[in-house]
Structure 1
Amino acid sequence: MMWFLKSQDEVFKEFNVNPDFGLSNEEAAKRLNQYGMNKLKGKPQKSILSLFLSQLNDMLIYVLLGAAAITFFIGEYSDAVIILLVVILNAVIGVVQEYKAEKAVEALQKMSTPKSLVRRNGEVIEINSEEVVPGDIIILDAGRFIPADIRLTESANLQIEESALTGESVPSNKDANANITDPKTPIGDRSNMAFMSTLVTYGRGEGVVVATAMDTEIGKIAKILDDDSSDMTPLQKRLDELGRILGFMAIGICVLIFIIALIQKRDIMEMFLTAISLAVAAIPEGLAAIVAIVLALGVTRMSKINAIVKKLPAVETLGSVNIVCSDKTGTLTQNKMTVTKHYTYGLLSDVPPTSNNLSASEATNELIKTLVLCSDATFDNGQGTGDPTEVALVVLGYKYNIKKEDLNKEHKRVSEFPFDSDRKLMSTLNIEGNGYRVNTKGAIDNLLKICSHVLADGKIVPLTDDIKREFLKVAEEMSDSALRVLGAAFKNTQSIIKPEEMEKDLILIGMVGMIDPPRLEVKDSIREAKNAGIIPIMITGDHKNTAVAIAKELDIAESIEQSITGAEIDEMSDEEFANNINKYRVFARVSPEHKVKIVRAFKAQGNIVSMTGDGVNDAPSLKYADIGVAMGITGTDVAKGASDMILTDDNFTTIVHAIEEGRNIYNNIKKAVIYLLSCNLGEVISIFLSILLKWPVPLLATHLLWINLITDSLPAISLGVDPGDHDVMKQKPRDPKESFFAKGAGIRAVIGGLLIGLLTLTVFFYGMSKSNYPIGSVISDYENADYQNALTHARTMAFVVLAASQLFYSLAMRSSTKSIFQVGLFKNKYLIGSICAGLLLQFIIISVPFLAKPFKVQSLTLGDWGLVILFALIPLVFNEIIKLFSRLAGNNKR
């Protein structure tokens, strides 16, 4: 349908909708069922079968399948079956991991779906854009993505950036009343239409949804704008490279083992299988999968503490953040503005906090009238919608019986000059008697520049320098009391004037002082951030004195010398500003452009910077920051789109909690990786040394594959979801360039691997020495039944020690400094469950005859069990002793 050719009334009639009432909830639900969800069709989800097949698409798996085919061909059926079972089980575990990770990311995408303002049942409400239906009345304002194709019915200085459709980067001017008659009018010239996935950059408007989802213009060209790439995170890439290096090293060792075995004239088939199995066991092919699931589950956990992380790499960066730049309003404060003082020339008055039906002077009534008319907020039944500052002004009107709805009827708005952060002003043009009245509100210093007169004792008199100084003196006194100051001015005109003509030769009426008290919990969070080596920075558009007063109360700053204004920043060169940036804790009277300069300056000093923002103009600073944080409540869709993280509660405390969670997630991944490398190194050492020493191989191919299965999956993932350690916030931020093996992690992996490997060999030696056959009799007595029985017994003991020592060792990995009792032995229930499950499976394998036979193991005596468990506990105990000594050494240093 060519909706741009139709009149507004025709569109209303076509969709059977009243623009003042909108659709009813019942009708909206009916249409949602009829037209479906308002979202573009994305890439089809992978089926379980394709996920399963992708797990098999690995060179090592091909080698294992080839080995299974050879063993089957030569009659070793049990070995072939075990290899195939291990491959299938490994693939199943991989599918479960990938499926969980996909579901976690899917849930996050739903949480970060853009919202839309719609009129339903006569009320303006905010809904998920996916729930918008044809016929909905949509309210548009600056910073929102347009959720569907819309025929505009109202527009005020409306500009929409349509590059997604037209390729034109300059925003298009929109006019709801434009009369278009040519059916061939290109999309870019359809000025009475707004299209899905484009962006409101200025002004406001209203319109009727005429098409949703794939019926929209963008749907027709099947362009999916928010196509989330499934690229690996930097951490995953680093680990993937590490896995490859370890893989080549492991394959090299396996080839070497095979060559030595040939020289020693060992059984070729057995050594072939052992070499392949060792390669599979030694290469931590599950690293990337484990990192993906730990990141995804961690991000899901963060969403429960009101922090939606949009991009997985942000989790890694969070742990390195050492500068948190935060907006004052709403993030550090409660975002509940209340007017407490008002001033007209010569008269400063307090506003009682609870009283209504107040009376005021004529000048005060004029002041309130202008402030209420120059506001887009609403207030009804104790609930306000819109900017908190504007809500406070509407509430002030109610206290003095100057109601917004009555004023709007009597003084209809005919034009406006919307607020922007450069002018720090907003103006409206309203009907006043037989003419019109300009109502302007904004920063008092900016107002003084454009006012030529002042309302004094009911008369309009010239605005002298003395009067200006008096206003600035009162404004400073208000600011020193942590009040935000907002001025108001007006002028009368006989005709409609252009927006840019509104803010000239105005008459100053007065100003109001309002306060937004600090959030109660923020002070503790700031103390916690400082203890964690993080410097909190306040950024605000408020007056310097107001900002410093709040900053002192919150312990962000100690004196006014730690503050700087936007005007002072402009006087410095970029280099000078960067060199002095570390002196400041408060940035006042700043514009979004200054935010970018602040981020650049902090980054130039080698800091990792987090920056909050909510407006359209905040997008550049959010993108440039290492972690861009958008406000979920007050934030525009543009800010949310440019950010890495969204705060659903707009609270500074949530940023600190997210940093703590980010640090713990990184540490958990590190634990899982070091654990896997220790285990794999232990397996390589036990096989390699036995070959070098000309001993029988202590573990068969099937043993290695089985141990790899029970230790590489559940325990590693359980370490990845280890409960967070709050003490992580007592440490300095992690250097993003820091090696993965820093702070002794590499040494721990080597010590763990050596202990596991050597203990496996020791118990194997002990098992052989109990028989009449010395360990070196590998060749001569190979076919002897008694010898084979002794060998099976020794291998069974080595098999149990290797598996159990790895399982127990996972407990030591939970902390590099704290003992297993300090972190809480049973706090990680998943890990305890994994260890118990692994030990039980190990017991079943060697105790159930029909399972023991294919694995070539035998049941152990009670004494043997006691010995192998004792040996298996040694790596854990040794690690705990090292931690004890390091703690004692640390205490002595203090």
Structure 2
Amino acid sequence: MVQDKQDKDQLAQMPIDQLYQSLRTSANGLTDQQVQSQKAKYGDNVITAAKGENKLLHFLKNFTSLMAILLWVSGFIAIFAKMVELGIAIWAVNIINGLFSYWQENQAHKASDALKKMLPTQATVIRNGKSEQIDTADIVPGDILMIAAGNSISADARIISADSFQVDESALTGESDLTDKKPDYHHGEGKFDEENLIYAGTVASAGSAKAVALSTGMNTEFGKIASLTQSQQAKPSPLELELNRLTRQLSIIAISIGIAFFLAAIFFVHYPVAQSFIFALGMVVAFIPEGLLPTVTLSLAQGVQRMAKKNALVKNLNSVETLGETTVIASDKTGTLTQNQMTINHVWLPDKVFTVSGEGYVNNGQVMDGQAAVKPGQNADLDLLMKAISLNNDTTVTPNNQPGAQAKIVGTPTEASLVILAEKYQLASKQLANANPRQKELVFDSVRKRMSTVNKGQDGKLTLYTKGALDGILSITKSILVNGQVRAITDDDIKQIQAADEEYAKQGLRSLAVAYRDLDASEDLSQATAANTEQNLTFVGLTIMADPPRPEIYAAVKKAHQAGIRIIMVTGDGPITAKSVAVKIGLVSDQARVITGDELSAMADEDLRQAVKGEVIFARVAPEQKYRIVKANQANGEIVASTGDGVNDAPALKQADIGIAMGATGTDVAKEAADMILTDDNFASIIAAIEEGRTVYSNIQKFLLYILNSNVPEAFPSVLFLFSGGLIPLPLTVMQILTIDLGTDMLPALGLGSEKSEPGVMQEPPRSRKAHLLNKSIIWKAFGLYGLVASIISAGAYFFVNYAYGWPKHALSASGAVYAEATTITLAAIVFCQIAAAMNARTKYTSVFKIGLFSNKHIVTGIIFEVILISLIIYVPFLQGVFNTHALGVQEWLFLIAIPIPLILLEELRKWVVRKYFLKRNS
């Protein structure tokens, strides 16, 4: 069994006889006894799944976060304080939230399951000198594999013999071009580019081959990726860490207040210890935001729904907010930043250059000579080139002219671009093929770097059409076609052609050369080979192609940079093309550093950490290198989002703070390892999702501001009671306090969780890891501004009612109708202050009138609900007894209704001052 890549390289270069001896096999395959021995030694050829978490523990962890534990304790305290209904209500909130979180988390799948599904179930092997079908799980090292076009490859193997064999390795490399495979060893550029090695999880696309299995199961490259993916431990999201910190902060605040009130009740009011303890427990419960978890969960869930409408499916609720913290995006190029549709944009002839309009596999463009469209019959040289690329082509394309829809291609992306070029030229390809039937094909291989076909014209003449890499074509060219005339090719001609090719290469464009030769009718095509047929060709021209950037990528990249997000291109493509595309779309400047996979292999981790701090592009990278790039950025303190679509991307996707898989072209493995799936494979959707993530975090802070500001007016009456030595009866009872926390406050608070993005959210830098949900701004607003104003208003209402009934001539009473009415107006005043707070908390700096005072229907509904609820508590006799309330008159209601108006206007004035002076000065 081959254990590592170095061993495979050694076996790839061994003579066949020595290879058989090393693997203890032969051309006749293994014997049954050898198979049994190998099976006992190496086990089944399967991808084994990592041991999963205990299902019960997985379920219970949704009820054991720090905030959840705090709520369990709060419920117990409420029951201990003889408020059983309240305790049950708090526990019910906790249970509902935990069940919802569990349901969401169950949407995530295991990456190893997808890996197992991708392996084929049957394979053809030679054993005991005979061909037989076996389950792929039974393949062992030393088995002789028989592989045909369309077969999935079941083990890492070395090719013994091959016939025009090509393999789709995109699941491992991420690149869509087919790879030629041959028995002879030759190492190309990239990790999986050995010509005589094939890998499990890839697919045979053309031809056939015989190979000997080197590695199976978890020892294959496929299995190593699975193992690397499984080894990644789930990390708490930044939001989970922040909520835990917030819980500790609120716990300290609540307990500290509880202790202070306990001591004050004993020393100032002279309550007995037991009564003081119960009083203090009530205050502790009142200061714990019971609605925090459900509001956070709802905010995240609504963010998930909004993202789904923008083509981003999020599998884990907490991933929504993590997106908003993203500082670095490690993005693939092909299909994410570009359209993954190779497009011809120029046709270069020795005496003329034509431009081609239209991008992608949609035949709605034209071949242009300046401003004029060119059609067949107007340029003989161009006609011949178009005829050559049409006849020398094995790919079919079914274009889809619907916006955003993918064309269906059967063949290679390069040949697909030639098919579309012929369509744009209005060439009748099918009729042309019928009139010029193919007589012979010399298939493409990576040594010749060209493909040829022999076609028979209507006049009976045979013509050889050849296309391929420029160097491969020029080496067999003897003449050149210029303006309809064939003449001997000169050194100056060659220099001109190469100069044009080099200029296009600097722009990140690829070229494909086209040539031809008229054959003698007497030539025996049955004996035709590349060596005796591809010679003395006439050079016609070059087709210049590129994978065009997505149209919307320019605006998305600009928006990301405005938001302080760096984008690092990580691609399997070549360095010249990668940098050209990156510069073109504004990803980096022309001074950006390009690091290839080979350079990266030689870099120490510290050097890599320094490299990723600047403008950098990674080209020709291998799977574990992408994983290293993500880890290096994380080591620098970055929040990393990484995109991917292949098996090779799974470890990086799982390591990243946010793994983003492609939904349209991605493998199941990538989708399962990711936190988010893009249904349109579009980078712009990532930026839209980041904006939603920032909005979710902002909404949680808005909720926090709203929910905490009511704590001050809730506590203020108790402060008056305690520090007056009991002379001022409690203006607000514990049950009335909890009415606000679990009743009137809840729906408006939940409405804040659904607030849309505030203007300018993507003009701010990503949130610092040192920044916290409960920051100085929220503390000042909640306790020093909103809370203080609400305390003055509600306390004033309490004393006003008592004043109307004879205070201070008569002492304040702790019972009776006057006391009930005074506490009722205090409670109602706080509720109406909260109506203003809900509106004020909707924006940080923007005027609430600009976004629409009533544009958030959830908040409007919540306000209506709390007015109805407080009315029921005030007027329903049964509830009057429970909450110690009393009916209010018209005069009191006019006072209450008027409360929000000045509070909203004063906050609007403050925001205007901030916008005009502070923000302008610091912009």
Deviation at 1:578, TM superposition (A): 5.9
Deviation at 1:837, TM superposition (A): 0.7
Query: Separation in 1 of the partners of 2:490 and 2:626?
Result: 35
> How is 1:458-497 mapped onto 2 (pairs within 5 angstroms)?
472-479=498-505, 483-486=509-512
Do 2:258 and 2:284's aligned partners in 1 also have CA atoms closer than 8 Å? yes
Query: Separation in 2 of the partners of 1:468 and 1:489?
Result: 14
Aligned residue number for residue 294 of structure 1: 299
Alignment match of 2:783 (pick from 723, 739, 750): 750
The structure-2 alpha-carbon separation of the partners of 1:858 and 1:549, relative to structure 1 and needing over 3 Å to count, comes to: same
Alignment match of 2:336 (pick from 321, 331, 334): 331
Aligned residue number for residue 203 of structure 2: 203
Instruction: Indicate whether 1:234 and 2:238 are aligned.
Output: yes
Q: Deviations over 1:174-228 (max 9, x none)?
A: 65689xxxxxxx9999x9xxxxx9995333379xxxxxxxxxx99xxxx999999
Q: For this pair of structures, how many residues does the alignment match? A: 749
Alignment match of 1:819 (pick from 843, 847, 851): 847
Aligned residue number for residue 47 of structure 2: none
The structure-2 alpha-carbon separation of the partners of 1:661 and 1:63, relative to structure 1 and needing over 3 Å to count, comes to: closer
Partner amino acid for 1:151? Q
Aligned residue number for residue 717 of structure 1: 750
Partner amino acid for 2:319? A
Query: Separation in 1 of the partners of 2:807 and 2:273?
Result: 23
Instruction: Indicate whether 1:257 and 2:261 are aligned.
Output: yes
The structure-2 alpha-carbon separation of the partners of 1:372 and 1:281, relative to structure 1 and needing over 3 Å to count, comes to: farther
The structure-2 alpha-carbon separation of the partners of 1:480 and 1:94, relative to structure 1 and needing over 3 Å to count, comes to: same
Deviation at 1:646, TM superposition (A): 2.5
> How is 1:66-85 mapped onto 2 (pairs within 5 angstroms)?
71=82, 83-84=84-85
Query: Separation in 1 of the partners of 2:251 and 2:881?
Result: 31
Query: Separation in 2 of the partners of 1:171 and 1:816?
Result: 68
**Match of 1:822, SS?**
helix
> How is 1:127-146 mapped onto 2 (pairs within 5 angstroms)?
146=117
Deviation at 1:817, TM superposition (A): 1.6
Deviates more, 1:561-570 or 1:690-699: 561-570
Query: Separation in 2 of the partners of 1:532 and 1:792?
Result: 53
Do 1:345 and 1:455's aligned partners in 2 also have CA atoms closer than 8 Å? no
Deviation at 1:661, TM superposition (A): 1.2
The structure-2 alpha-carbon separation of the partners of 1:793 and 1:532, relative to structure 1 and needing over 3 Å to count, comes to: same
Do 1:596 and 1:620's aligned partners in 2 also have CA atoms closer than 8 Å? yes
Partner amino acid for 1:746? I
Instruction: Indicate whether 1:762 and 2:766 are aligned.
Output: no
Do 1:483 and 1:546's aligned partners in 2 also have CA atoms closer than 8 Å? yes
**Match of 1:722, SS?**
coil
Deviates more, 1:282-291 or 1:843-852: 282-291
Instruction: Indicate whether 1:391 and 2:416 are aligned.
Output: yes
Instruction: Indicate whether 1:629 and 2:660 are aligned.
Output: yes
Partner amino acid for 1:261? A
TM-score relative to the length of structure 2: 0.65
Alignment match of 1:566 (pick from 593, 596, 603): 596
The structure-2 alpha-carbon separation of the partners of 1:739 and 1:44, relative to structure 1 and needing over 3 Å to count, comes to: closer
Do 2:501 and 2:511's aligned partners in 1 also have CA atoms closer than 8 Å? yes
Query: Separation in 1 of the partners of 2:303 and 2:700?
Result: 10
Partner amino acid for 1:734? R
Q: Deviations over 1:712-749 (max 9, x none)?
A: 53222211111112311122222133232346223222
Do 1:362 and 1:458's aligned partners in 2 also have CA atoms closer than 8 Å? no
Query: Separation in 2 of the partners of 1:818 and 1:341?
Result: 49
Any unmatched runs of 5+ in structure 2? 1-51, 127-135, 160-170, 173-198, 207-216, 219-225, 357-365, 368-372, 402-406, 457-464, 482-488, 517-524
Aligned residue number for residue 124 of structure 1: none
Deviation at 1:172, TM superposition (A): 10
Deviation at 1:758, TM superposition (A): 4.5
Q: Deviations over 1:350-403 (max 9, x none)?
A: 776499989989995897489734x6x754898423665453245457757379
Instruction: Indicate whether 1:843 and 2:867 are aligned.
Output: no
Query: Separation in 1 of the partners of 2:117 and 2:841?
Result: 50
Aligned residue number for residue 30 of structure 1: none
**Match of 1:736, SS?**
coil
Partner amino acid for 1:822? K
Query: Separation in 1 of the partners of 2:64 and 2:621?
Result: 53
Alignment match of 1:696 (pick from 729, 734, 748): 729
Deviation at 1:866, TM superposition (A): 3.1
Do 1:363 and 1:458's aligned partners in 2 also have CA atoms closer than 8 Å? no
Deviation at 1:671, TM superposition (A): 1.3
Query: Separation in 2 of the partners of 1:265 and 1:776?
Result: 23
Deviation at 1:760, TM superposition (A): 3.3
The RMSD of aligned alpha carbons is 6.0
Do 1:681 and 1:753's aligned partners in 2 also have CA atoms closer than 8 Å? yes
Do 2:67 and 2:244's aligned partners in 1 also have CA atoms closer than 8 Å? no
Instruction: Indicate whether 1:830 and 2:858 are aligned.
Output: yes
Query: Separation in 1 of the partners of 2:65 and 2:613?
Result: 50
Q: Deviations over 1:749-779 (max 9, x none)?
A: 222334434443333233333334559957x
Deviates more, 1:259-268 or 1:684-693: 259-268
The structure-2 alpha-carbon separation of the partners of 1:738 and 1:154, relative to structure 1 and needing over 3 Å to count, comes to: farther
Partner amino acid for 1:286? G
Deviation at 1:834, TM superposition (A): 0.6
Aligned residue number for residue 139 of structure 1: none
Alignment match of 1:279 (pick from 266, 275, 284): 284
Query: Separation in 2 of the partners of 1:365 and 1:673?
Result: 66
Deviation at 1:855, TM superposition (A): 1.5
Deviation at 1:659, TM superposition (A): 1.7
Do 1:153 and 1:177's aligned partners in 2 also have CA atoms closer than 8 Å? no
Aligned residue number for residue 476 of structure 2: 454
**Match of 1:726, SS?**
coil
Q: Deviations over 1:123-154 (max 9, x none)?
A: xxxxxx99xxxxxxxxxxxxx86368733589
Deviates more, 1:254-263 or 1:339-348: 339-348
Partner amino acid for 1:724? S
Q: Deviations over 1:847-891 (max 9, x none)?
A: 222321222110112222333445566665554443333223226
**Match of 1:744, SS?**
helix
Deviates more, 1:692-701 or 1:295-304: 692-701
Do 2:389 and 2:467's aligned partners in 1 also have CA atoms closer than 8 Å? no
Aligned residue number for residue 209 of structure 1: none
The structure-2 alpha-carbon separation of the partners of 1:612 and 1:642, relative to structure 1 and needing over 3 Å to count, comes to: same
Deviation at 1:473, TM superposition (A): 2.3
Query: Separation in 2 of the partners of 1:319 and 1:595?
Result: 22
Deviation at 1:59, TM superposition (A): 6.9
Deviation at 1:70, TM superposition (A): 7.5
Deviates more, 1:722-731 or 1:479-488: 479-488
Query: Separation in 2 of the partners of 1:689 and 1:496?
Result: 102
Q: Deviations over 1:386-421 (max 9, x none)?
A: 66545324545775737999999987999998xxxx
**Match of 1:533, SS?**
coil
Deviates more, 1:382-391 or 1:680-689: 382-391
Deviates more, 1:841-850 or 1:145-154: 145-154
**Match of 1:761, SS?**
helix
Query: Separation in 2 of the partners of 1:508 and 1:704?
Result: 92
Deviation at 1:576, TM superposition (A): 6.5
Query: Separation in 2 of the partners of 1:629 and 1:665?
Result: 19
> How is 1:522-601 mapped onto 2 (pairs within 5 angstroms)?
522-536=553-567, 554-556=585-587, 560-562=590-592, 564=594, 566=596, 584=615, 587=617, 590-592=620-622
Partner amino acid for 1:150? T
Query: Separation in 1 of the partners of 2:905 and 2:917?
Result: 18
Q: Deviations over 1:692-715 (max 9, x none)?
A: 332322222221222111245322
Aligned residue number for residue 552 of structure 2: 521
Aligned residue number for residue 6 of structure 2: none
Deviation at 1:845, TM superposition (A): 0.8
**Match of 2:550, SS?**
coil
Query: Separation in 1 of the partners of 2:74 and 2:314?
Result: 39
Aligned residue number for residue 834 of structure 2: 806
Partner amino acid for 1:392? S
TM-score relative to the length of structure 1: 0.67
Aligned residue number for residue 315 of structure 2: 310
Query: Separation in 1 of the partners of 2:595 and 2:256?
Result: 62
Deviation at 1:838, TM superposition (A): 0.6
Do 2:72 and 2:91's aligned partners in 1 also have CA atoms closer than 8 Å? no
Instruction: Indicate whether 1:372 and 2:393 are aligned.
Output: yes
Aligned residue number for residue 646 of structure 1: 677
> How is 1:665-744 mapped onto 2 (pairs within 5 angstroms)?
665-694=696-725, 695-742=728-775, 744=777
